[in-house]
A and B are shown apart, each in its own frame.
Chain A
Amino acid sequence: MTWFRKEKKPLETSPAEKRVQTEGLWTKCEGCKQILWKKDLENNLQCCPKCGFHFKMGSRARLAMLFDEGKYEEYDAGLASPDPLHFADRKTYRARLEEAQKLTGMKDALLTGRGLMAGKPIIICAMEFQFIGGSMGAVVGEKITRAIDRCIAQRLPLVIISCSGGARMMEGAISLLQLAKISAALARFDETRKPYISVLTNPTTGGTTASFAMLGDLNIAEPGALIGFAGPRVIEQTIHQKLPEGFQRSEFLLAHGMLDAIVPRKDLKSYLASTLELLGAWNSSPTRS
């Protein structure tokens, strides 16, 4: 038995290894199902060069894409969760946090930066989907609220890029209350008459949609993004029927009047710069007081 198994093992593992190696370089497009070279994707802002499908983009790549020369000053990088619930199922929340921190090099699921966009100062927050599904706990809530506080103090416009499954279960009601905290801060931000643009990307659901993602002066989305309050599976289980094609996608929300525009990633920076300019983001004094 032992002899047999030993003989067989290398035969079994080598095709798997080979697959892992090719997986490192190639990926299948979820849009057109074609095999793409990852380098081509990277050079095309993580969009399929063949069909335009928008792959998820990491928070660092986001900020690098939007800030001039990819340069920005990061805020609140050290904020971390103390695991207030001492949450543990089959795995502890602490262990999950450590794993996510190793994977992303971030303390939690949001990156905040201040820099120049088309030569003008701005604060941008980007959610990191690789960090526990971009879920929002107390750290994400506090970082966004601090970003809003800074925009108020420094009279700067704000952009938040959402990519999130919603509130983080492992922080319980504490996660839930972040929705209230951030939304109240946005109400105060209104008084500065500086614009906030919300960019919804694939996916933006749950508590994230039900708070700051839907509260922009402009709410725009990338093409084909899943956007909603309840997840599609939850809805299917509730109503016991299949959901229509394209349900909860950007184009569906636009048609139902829930979005101001759909903006492809390659146009995002110029769209943000020009609309913020039109809204007077960098006027020295407010138009009315």
Chain B
Amino acid sequence: MPTREQQLAMVEELEKQIAELQSSTPPSEAAQEEIERLREQIASLRKEAPGSAHDAWERVLLARHPQRPYTLDFIHMLCTDFTEIHGDRRFADDPAMVAGLARFEGRPVVVVGHQKGRDTKQKLLRNFGMPNPEGYRKALRVMQLGAKFNLPILSLVDTPGAYPGIGAEERGQAEAIAHNLKEIPRLAVPIVVVIHGEGGSGGALAIAVGDKALMLENAIYSVISPESCSSILWRDWNHKEEAARILKLTATDLHGFGIVDEIVPEPPGGAHADPERAGALLRSAIRESLRVLGSLSTAELMERRHERLRQLATLIRET
């Protein structure tokens, strides 16, 4: 039996053949039949390959595992003296986003992050980890506070996405996210981003800009949820596993694209199997990131950040 890599290579080869057949317009009847046949072959190959659709979807389930450590769990494992700061000073305090001061290995830092709830009551309170504009505005406010007092920033990302609601739109969900994306890069202190659960689109990105992006082994980061992708492409949720595969949302995929700088390993079975161990592994990755970034002058830090953001995800070709 071929290895997973070989199977995926075969799938890719078949996809190429289909693309070639489709490029002759209009495709002849024979070509159409051939395309159908190749598609069936691809489908059966994918079913056999344990590490393809299956693997990506497994990661989605692990990233959303109900026992997975959430942002506050990580904060308590990583930091001491956590002092929460509430509110955006504009409209409300958004419990789907937490922010505050803390010490990381004795050193004062600022921490922000999406917060999910564990039981039904907490889930509702935290709005399933989906912030309203106030959440993003609070996060920026506290990050700016960090920059003012020269504190490094830790940003912990775990959200299905920004909340799609009437109030959120009325109060400028898009503006809140956009404003963060423009203002965070100006903050002249080291910023370490940790995608530790779900990196759900713009709602995740709004606090995920920085100097170094760490991603936990079983976390996901995507422009759209596999369910929504499935419903757009196949008009139902039944293809969510396939959608998870084609979206390339795993830590390995994102590391390959240069979007994530480092993959943080998780204990066997996933972070939920041994949260303490997961916390310890993350701690050492953050320590090393802060050490490297801390050794740079402010000018070097900002120059490096500028370069990093300028080159980000520039996957294009000149014709």
Chain A interface (Cβ < 8 Å from any Cβ of B): 78-82, 84-92, 94-95, 98, 107, 138-139, 141-142, 145, 167-169, 171-181, 183-188, 206-207, 209-215, 227-230, 234-235, 238-239, 243-244, 247-248, 256-258
Contact = CB atoms under 8 A, between A and B. Distances in A.
Interface stretch (B109-117, B149-157, B243-251, B280-288): B243-251
Contacts of A235: 164-166, 169
Contact of B209 (A138, A184, A227): A184
Contacts of A98: 23
Contacts of B165: 230, 235, 238-239
Given A78-B319, A214-B175, A173 B259 contact: yes
Interface of B: 12, 15, 18-19, 22-23, 162-166, 168-175, 177-179, 181-183, 185-186, 199, 201-202, 205-206, 208-209, 221-224, 228-229, 232-234, 242, 246-249, 253-254, 257, 259, 306, 309-310, 312-319
Contacts of A180: 181, 205, 208-209, 309, 312
B202 A206 contact: yes
A7 B22 CA distance: 33
Contact of A179 (B181, B228, B306): B181
A243 B186 CA distance: 37
A214 B310 CA distance: 20
B209 A88 contact: no
Contacts of A175: 223
A172 B169 contact: no
By secondary structure, the B interface counts as helix
Contacts of A142: 314, 316
Contacts of A211: 177-178, 181
A181 B316 CA distance: 14
B238 to A, nearest CB: 13
Given A210-B174, A229-B177, A256-B170, A85 B248 contact: yes
Given A187-B183, A238-B164, A215 B178 contact: yes
B229 A181 contact: no
B224 A210 contact: no
Contacts of A90: 233-234
A239 to B, nearest CB: 6
A185 to B, nearest CB: 7
Contacts of B310: 145, 181, 184-185
B178 A173 contact: no
Nearest to A228: B169
Nearest to B162: A229
A95 B162 contact: no
A47 B120 CA distance: 51
Most buried by A among B22, B171, B175: B175
Given A215-B182, A256-B170, 11 more contacts: A80-B317, A81-B316, A84-B315, A89-B246, A107-B319, A172-B222, A173-B257, A187-B183, A228-B169, A229-B164, A239-B165
A90 B229 CA distance: 13
Contacts of B164: 229-230, 234-235, 238
B246 A229 contact: no
Contact of B306 (A81, A138, A188): A188
A257 B90 CA distance: 14
B174 A214 contact: yes
A95 B223 CA distance: 21
A182 to B, nearest CB: 8
Nearest to B246: A87
Given A172-B223, A179-B202, A141 B246 contact: no
A215 B319 contact: no
B7 to A, nearest CB: 14
A288 B171 CA distance: 33
A85 to B, nearest CB: 5
A54 B224 CA distance: 30
Contact of B234 (A86, A89, A186, A214): A89
Contact of B182 (A84, A173, A187, A207): A187
* 10 nearest A-B residue pairs (beta carbon): A230-B164, A183-B181, A209-B174, A177-B313, A229-B174, A184-B309, A214-B178, A210-B177, A229-B173, A84-B315
Given A187-B182, A243-B166, A210 B315 contact: no
A158 to B, nearest CB: 14
B182 A230 contact: no
A178 B313 contact: yes
Contacts of B205: 176-177, 179-180
A174 B309 contact: no
A181 B312 contact: yes
Contacts of A181: 309-310, 312-314
A103 to B, nearest CB: 12
A248 B179 contact: no
Contacts of A139: 316
Contacts of A187: 182-183, 185-186
Nearest to A169: B224
Nearest to A255: B170
B222 A173 contact: yes
19 contacts: A81-B317, A82-B316, A92-B22, A169-B232, A171-B315, A173-B222, A174-B315, A176-B205, A181-B314, A188-B306, A206-B202, A207-B202, A209-B178, A210-B178, A213-B178, A214-B172, A229-B164, A235-B164, A243-B166
